[in-house]
Amino acid sequence: MNDIPLTDSARPCENCGAPLHGEHCYACGQPTKGLVRHFPSIVGDFVDTVFDIDGRIWRTLWPLLLRPGHLTLEYLRGHRVRFVSPVRLFVFLSVLAFLAMQWSIHWDEDPIQLDPSGQFANARDEGELAQQQADALTALTNAESALADATNGQADLAAARQAIEQAGANRRAELRGEKPAESVDQSTASPHISFGDKPWHPTANPLQIDAFPEVANRKLNVWAAQAEGNIARIRQHPALLGQAFINSLPQTLFVLVPVFALLLKLLYLLKRRLYMEHLIMALHSHAFISLVLLLTALLSLASDSLDWPTFTTVSQTISLVLWLWIPAYLFLTLKWVYRQGWIMTTLKSMFLGTCYLILLSLGAAFNLAINVVTL
């Protein structure tokens, strides 16, 4: 037992008995708060631990949006307690931003089917085929009435009608044991994944990489089957591709944060700064981008909810200003954090922007491919 005398105002630590002078025991480190307490306070502590969100968030957001480089410089000077930490700030804003984007971006819930080439494959005889084809043409006629004044829509509907007739003719030929006619428009042909000069097939033409073990090749073929099915779904419902792209953005940004810091390290190698200093800069920059995404998504949601033309115009103007502010903000951040001349900062920002856009495109394409497989 600790021999330090207790004062009237000091509580003893429940673990070692030392007098407490805060929320943690200085002797053994045990916190004063355990799990045996009201559940709402535990939830509040969990949110604060994960996101570190309290009164500091408002002191952090304004300089993050309007003062390029300020948070990074303050952090490097040791003024850290008054602001939300860079990691938690980036995670918190990126999560909110992409949730808001999911709600603010509208996808076509009932797209016109332009690729019905396989929809009659389950017709068992010509009578059933005729009924299915008639139902498809009836649905298309209803769509034509809804798009009577849309020139582009009429062109798409004409292509859809042609595709329906071609699909019906092909299935009819199959039922009669004849060779199906070639599709008039090969752009609407059923999608296939090809390896070599033949379409992929799980048994006839599987994907096989000799350097991989058998279990890995089996998994690759499972993914190929999923991708082929999902590509067909995307052709039927193109909105799925947009959804997959939005889903791929958070992973892309998370991966690019350390890569962006590495680019800064290489560009400012002579500055002899630690990699973690560049990482702080990268986290604040990506938190700023996430904040812009969040604000523009919220403006879009508010505009759709109010349906007020004046507010819509104002919100679109503000969104445009925010997007134009991104390159200017990042340029000024480089200038004020690294303190180089305007010409050198301009050249480095152009090089950094070009590299980042290339990496962003490659990362988004890679993550999009993964999302297409896992739809």
pLDDT digits (tens, 9 = 90+) for 271-320: 888 999 999 999 999 999 999 999 999 998 888 888 788 888 999 999 99
State the CB neighbour count (10 A cutoff) for residue 253. 22
Same domain flag for 276 and 351: yes
Q: Check residue 184 and report its DSSP letter.
A: S
One domain, residues 84 and 130: no
* Highest mean pLDDT out of 13-22, 34-43, 87-96, 215-224: 87-96
| Amino acid 354: pLDDT | 93
Indicate whether 91 and 163 sit together in one domain. no
Does 7 reside within a domain? Answer: yes
Note whether residue 3 is domain-resident: yes
Q: Is residue 67 part of a domain?
A: yes
Band of the pLDDT at 154, cuts 50, 70, 90? very low
| Residues 134 and 246 both lie in one domain | no
Within a domain: residue 115? no
Rounded mean pLDDT, 321-330: 94
- The C-alpha atoms of residue 156 and residue 301 are separated, in whole angstroms, by 30
Predicted local distance difference test score (pLDDT) of residue 193: 59
Q: Is residue 184 part of a domain?
A: yes
* Of 362 and 171, more confident: 362
If asked whether residues 100 and 246 sit together in one domain, one would say: yes
One domain, residues 147 and 249: no
Position 68 in a domain: yes
Q: Are residues 73 and 15 in the same domain?
A: no
Contact 206, 217 (CB under 8 A): yes
Q: Are residues 71 and 156 in the same domain?
A: no
Does residue 170 share a domain with residue 74? no
Query: In this structure, is residue 97 part of a structural domain?
Result: yes
In this predicted structure, what is the pLDDT of residue 181?
55
132 plus 245 within the same structural domain:
no
- Give me the mean pLDDT over the 210-222 stretch: 79
The pTM of the full predicted model, rounded to 2 decimals, is 0.63
pLDDT of 114 higher than 60:
no
209 burial level (CB within 10 Å; 0-12, 13-18, 19+):
exposed
Q: Which residue has the tokens 């410089």?
A: 73
Whether 101 maps to a domain, the answer reads yes
Total domain count for the chain? 3
Average pLDDT in the 21-48 region?
Answer: 70
Residue 324 confidence (pLDDT) above 60: yes
Looking at the fold, whether 247 and 100 belong to one and the same domain comes out as yes
**What's the domain range around 28?**
1-32
The verdict on 103 and 127 lying in the same domain is no
Q: Provide the pLDDT for residue 30.
A: 80
Q: How many Cβ atoms are within 10 Å of 221's Cβ, its own excluded? A: 18
